Every structure is written in structure tokens, then in C-alpha cells.
């Protein structure tokens, strides 16, 4: 089902984007020859009055083919024919700059409009979020051997600012930390009513394949982190051990533990050797011995239990129509600023490409969002639409922003750029984007399956 939701989400985004180009072109009197969803071989097509609508095999994008978008290429070297195409009243090139600019911007603008229009419905339908994300950033605990521990941050410290940026909610603090790995920071906290200035360096998260920041004060390590058994996986190592849902784990190999994180760390460190678990069940102590099994997906030793999720730790963000519109617009604006910040930091090399997600991670995220409900899926769709709209405005040839750049240069020099110059620029832009996509996809594969593990398996076949 993950693939199905991925195709649905991507299909919606592509259709909206290309429809933006299409409708503005039509309104401007420009002939649209093709409207394609997907690339490659045609699966089916419908011929309209002047436009061929088609669905292609590879659902990774789409395009509209405008008549006269590139007269020289369309004329195949025939100079007279190229001039005739450029002078045609329904030619893209023959239209005034304002119509051409509007047509090019129509796609990304429609993606931005989609996000601003749909996001209020997210808060009208409702989406479930951890309650801690809406609470003030009071430190709930400090992980051992973490950057926060090294500079003596303490439980109860209230985070006021990081690098002069103020915060009111844990959700904003978490986003900031995750997007700034390997960065030196100045943090101002309040402890017992007195402000303290802390200097440290955000490191890479030790428990994630994805490159993201880590301080060791993130609330997910402490909020709702009680070692209470939720579900027991059928036929897993714990299935026939006698462990039951609701058991409170108190010890691993006779060592006391108080959090789910401590328990899982010790299980993963077992390397498959039998471990003893002490537990409390309705106030009565008990114990079991289990042999962890290696899980290929998690790349770790597990015993086949899930953490109990206390519904009281979550809140549903659901509002009346008026408030839903306000919250929707505010959230879309916040996500827009977040996306712009990521783009800026990528181009200034302050952020690694490894923080980005490619098609595999997007597919995973779309599936997870859909399983969480309609509100979460629409939220994911809005965020992706925002990113698609903003990234398409970058002045890189082959993107819409690249076409705007060409038009700006032509306006300055007061003549069209030659086909050769455009082709070289387009090929360079395509090479850059393909190279980035390959790196991101490689990173996806490494994050999900582990490149090292795949290489080891491949060697085992020979």
C-alpha cells in the first residue's frame, strides 16, 4: 500500500503543478500541445481539441509541451520555419513577456496555493500530535554521554533561545536541533530563575541512519518513555516467553532500568545472547528469559515487543472552521520558512545533502501518513506541495526558475539567447539535478537497508 499512497500523493502534486502551467497558458492564448502525467512510454492518451492528454509509465513527474516554447528546436534547423513559429499568435515565444512569465510561474504558484488552501482542512479534520510538542521547552532529562551532559545542562532547565533565536514550544526547538547537526551553538536557559549561557556543539543523532542533529535533551527520550509493553509480535522471541501487554519492565540482566530507551539499548547490545527481564504485573514482580533475534529492517537485535502508547500523551489539533483557517495559514507559513531555511543552508553548505529524503523516503513517509489518517496524509501532501513549489522557483536550468532566469537575461540583453547556450545550460542543470538525485537515492538506500549490509550480502552470493 505504501507504493499506492506514494503514487496518489505524487500524482496529485504533479497534476496540480502541470495544471497551473496549462491553465495560465490557455488563458494567455498559448497552444498546449501535450499534457503528460509521468515520463516514458505512453500508457494511454486522449486527444482534446488542441491538446493531447497522456499518462506515461514512470509516475515521477510530468510536463506540458507548449507550442513555440523553443522555435529553433521545433523547426529542426529551418530558419524560416522557426521565425514563423515564433511569430504565430498562439506561440509561447510570440507572446509578451508578462504572459510567458505567468505561464512559467503557474506551476509552482499552484503548488503553493494548494498548500495554503488544503492546510486549513487538516485542522478542520484534525491531526494527532505528541502533546509535548506544544508545551514550553522545559528539559525533561539529559542523556548520558551526550553534548548536553558534557556542558551540564540539567533537568528543569527552560530553553529560552539558541543562537539568538527565541523559542516558545518544544516542536520548534526539535526542528531547529535536527536541522543543525555539527554546528556550534550558544544556548540560553533559565535555571531557578537565573539565565545561563551554554556553549556546545550539536552532533549527529547516534540512533538514526539519517543525518540529523542531536543534543541529548530531546523529549522523545523521556516523554512517554516508560518501559511498558504494548503489543507482542506473533511468533517473535517474546511471544512464548510469558511476557504480557501492560508489563512494566524493571530490569535487564538484573540491571535496573527506568526508560524504554535504556531497555532497548541493552537488548540491542546483547548480540543475540539470552537476556533476563524483570517486570511488574499488577504490582507483582516476575521475570522471563528471552533470546533476542536479529531484525533485518531495524538492523538490530530485538525481542518482538512494542512500546505502550498512552493516548493521554497526544492531543488532537482540531478546530472550528474560523480557527482552522487561522492555524492552517500559520502552519503553512511556518513550513514555508522552514523549507526556505533548509534551501539556504544547503546552498551555503551548512547542511548536508544527507538530511534530504529521496523517492524511497518520500514513499515511506506517504504510506505512514496515510496510515495515520486523512488529516496526517493531507498535512504530508501540503508540505510536499510547498517544497515542490519553492524548489521549482530556484534559478536552475530545467526548473521553472531556470526559465525565469532565461527570460530575465533576455530582457537585459534585449535579444533571445541562442539555442546552443540554452542547451548547454539545460544539460548542465540536468546533470546537477540527476547527480543530486542519485546521491539522495543512494542515501535513501543506505538509510533504509544499509549499503554496507547490501554489499556484504552481495559478496555472499559469489
Give the residue numbers spanning the domain of 378.
Answer: 1-29+95-126+318-462
Determine the distance from the C-alpha atom of residue 141 to the mean position of all C-alpha atoms in its chain, rounded to a whole number.
Answer: 28
Contact in structure between 327 and 296 (CB atoms under 8 Å): no
pLDDT digits (tens, 9 = 90+) for 447-458: 555 544 444 444
Domain for residue 236, yes or no? yes
Closest CA to 379 of 418, 328, 427: 328
Neighbours of 415 (CB within 10 A): 9
Look at the block and give the residue holding cell 532547565.
157
Q: Which pLDDT tens digits describe the chain residue by residue (462 residues)? A: 667 888 888 889 999 999 999 999 999 999 999 999 988 899 999 998 899 999 998 877 889 999 988 787 787 777 788 888 888 889 998 888 899 999 999 999 999 999 999 999 999 999 888 889 889 999 999 988 899 999 999 999 999 999 999 999 999 999 899 888 889 999 999 999 999 999 999 998 876 656 788 999 999 888 888 899 999 988 889 998 989 999 999 999 999 998 888 899 899 999 999 999 999 999 899 999 999 999 876 778 999 999 888 877 888 889 999 999 999 999 999 999 888 888 888 787 777 666 666 666 666 677 777 777 899 999 999 999 999 999 999 988 888 998 899 888 888 888 877 767 877 887 787 787 777 777 666 665 665 555 444 444 444 444
Domain for residue 109, yes or no? yes
**pLDDT, position 444:** 57
Domain for residue 214, yes or no? yes
**Are 192 and 235 in a shared domain?**
no
Closest CA to 18 of 104, 113, 97: 104
**pLDDT, position 455:** 44
**Are 325 and 411 in a shared domain?**
yes
Rounded CA gap, 335 and 272, in Å? 43
**Are 157 and 209 in a shared domain?**
yes
**Are 399 and 462 in a shared domain?**
yes
pLDDT digits (tens, 9 = 90+) for 175-196: 899 888 889 999 999 999 999 9
**Are 192 and 250 in a shared domain?**
no
**Are 374 and 264 in a shared domain?**
no
**Are 388 and 434 in a shared domain?**
yes
pLDDT digits (tens, 9 = 90+) for 407-448: 888 888 888 777 678 778 877 877 877 777 776 666 656 655
Question: For 442, left (φ over 0), alpha (ψ -120 to 50), or beta?
Answer: alpha
**Are 387 and 437 in a shared domain?**
yes
Domain for residue 22, yes or no? yes
**Are 141 and 275 in a shared domain?**
no
**Are 290 and 179 in a shared domain?**
no
Query: Domain ends where: 256, 284, 307?
Result: 307
Examine the residue annotation and report whether 197 is marked as an active-site residue of this protein. no
Rounded CA gap, 329 and 118, in Å? 10
pLDDT digits (tens, 9 = 90+) for 292-310: 999 876 778 999 999 888 8
What's 275's domain CATH number?
2.30.42.10
Total structural domains within the chain: 3
Domain for residue 457, yes or no? yes
Query: Domain ends where: 219, 240, 264?
Result: 219
Domain for residue 342, yes or no? yes
Domain for residue 324, yes or no? yes
Domain for residue 450, yes or no? yes
Contact in structure between 120 and 330 (CB atoms under 8 Å): no
Q: Give the CA dihedral 331, 336, 340, 345, nearest 10 degrees.
A: 30
Query: Domain ends where: 168, 196, 219?
Result: 219
**pLDDT, position 267:** 94
**Are 333 and 403 in a shared domain?**
yes
**pLDDT, position 456:** 47
Neighbours of 364 (CB within 10 A): 17
Residue 133 has φ and ψ, to the nearest 5°, of -65, -25
**Are 453 and 431 in a shared domain?**
yes
Of 18, 69, 74, 218, which one is the catalytic site residue?
Answer: 18
**pLDDT, position 428:** 84
Amino acid at each position: 500500500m505504501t507504493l499506492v499512497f506514494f503514487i496518489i500523493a505524487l500524482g496529485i502534486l504533479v497534476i496540480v503543478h502541470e495544471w497551473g502551467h496549462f491553465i495560465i497558458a490557455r488563458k494567455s492564448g498559448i497552444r498546449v500541445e501535450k499534457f503528460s502525467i509521468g515520463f516514458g512510454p505512453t500508457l494511454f492518451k486522449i486527444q482534446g481539441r488542441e491538446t493531447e492528454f497522456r499518462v506515461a509509465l514512470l509516475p515521477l513527474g510530468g510536463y506540458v509541451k507548449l507550442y513555440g516554447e523553443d522555435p529553433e528546436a521545433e523547426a529542426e534547423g529551418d530558419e524560416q520555419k522557426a521565425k514563423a513559429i515564433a511569430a504565430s499568435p498562439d506561440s509561447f515565444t510570440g507572446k509578451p513577456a508578462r504572459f510567458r512569465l505567468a505561464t512559467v510561474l503557474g506551476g509552482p504558484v499552484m503548488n503553493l496555493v494548494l498548500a495554503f488552501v488544503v492546510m486549513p482542512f487538516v485542522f478542520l479534520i484534525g491531526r494527532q500530535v505528541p502533546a509535548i510538542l506544544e508545551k514550553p521547552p522545559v528539559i525533561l532529562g539529559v542523556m548520558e554521554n551526550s553534548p548536553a551532559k558534557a556542558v551540564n545542562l540539567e533537568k528543569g532547565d527552560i530553553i529560552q533561545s539558541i543562537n539568538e533565536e527565541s523559542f516558545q514550544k518544544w516542536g520548534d526547538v526539535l526542528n531547529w536541533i535536527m536541522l543543525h547537526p555539527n554546528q556550534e551553538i550558544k544556548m540560553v536557559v533559565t535555571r531557578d530563575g537565573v539565565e545561563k549561557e551554554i556553549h556546545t556543539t550539536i552532533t549527529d543523532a547516534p540512533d538514526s541512519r539519517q543525518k540529523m542533529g542531536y543534543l541529548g535533551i530531546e523529549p522523545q527520550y523521556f516523554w512517554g518513555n516508560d518501559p511498558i509493553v504494548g503489543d507482542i509480535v506473533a511468533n517473535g522471541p517474546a511471544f512464548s516467553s510469558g511476557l504480557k501487554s501492560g508489563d512494566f519492565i524493571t530490569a535487564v540482566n538484573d540491571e535496573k532500568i527506568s526508560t524504554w530507551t535504556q531497555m532497548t539499548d541493552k537488548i540491542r547490545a546483547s548480540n543475540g545472547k539470552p537476556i533476563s527481564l524483570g517486570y511488574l504485573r499488577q504490582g507483582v514482580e516476575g521475570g522471563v528469559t528471552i533470546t533476542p533475534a536479529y531484525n533485518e529492517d531495524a538492523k538490530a537485535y530485538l525481542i518482538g515487543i512494542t512500546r505502550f502508547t498512552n493516548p493521554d500523551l497526544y492531543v488532537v489539533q482540531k478546530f472550528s472552521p474560523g480557527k482552522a483557517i487561522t492555524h492552517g495559514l500559520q502552519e503553512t507559513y511556518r513550513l514555508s520558512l522552514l523549507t526556505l531555511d533548509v534551501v539556504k543552508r544547503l546552498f551555503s553548505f551548512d547542511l548536508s545533502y544527507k538530511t534530504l529524503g529521496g523517492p524511497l523516503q518520500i514513499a515511506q513517509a506517504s504510506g505512514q501518513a496515510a496510515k495515520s489518517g486523512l488529516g496526517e496524509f493531507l498535512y504530508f501532501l501540503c508540505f510536499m506541495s510547498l517544497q515542490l513549489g519553492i524548489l521549482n522557483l530556484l534559478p536552475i536550468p530545467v526548473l521553472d526558475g531556470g526559465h525565469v532566469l532565461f527570460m530575465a537575461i533576455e530582457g537585459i540583453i534585449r535579444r533571445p539567447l541562442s539555442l546552443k547556450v540554452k542547451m548547454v545550460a539545460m544539460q548542465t542543470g540536468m546533470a546537477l539535478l540527476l547527480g543530486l538525485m542519485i546521491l539522495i537515492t543512494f542515501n535513501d538506500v543506505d538509510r533504509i537497508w544499509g549499503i554496507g549490509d547490501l554489499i556484504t550480502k552481495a559478496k555472499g552470493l559469489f
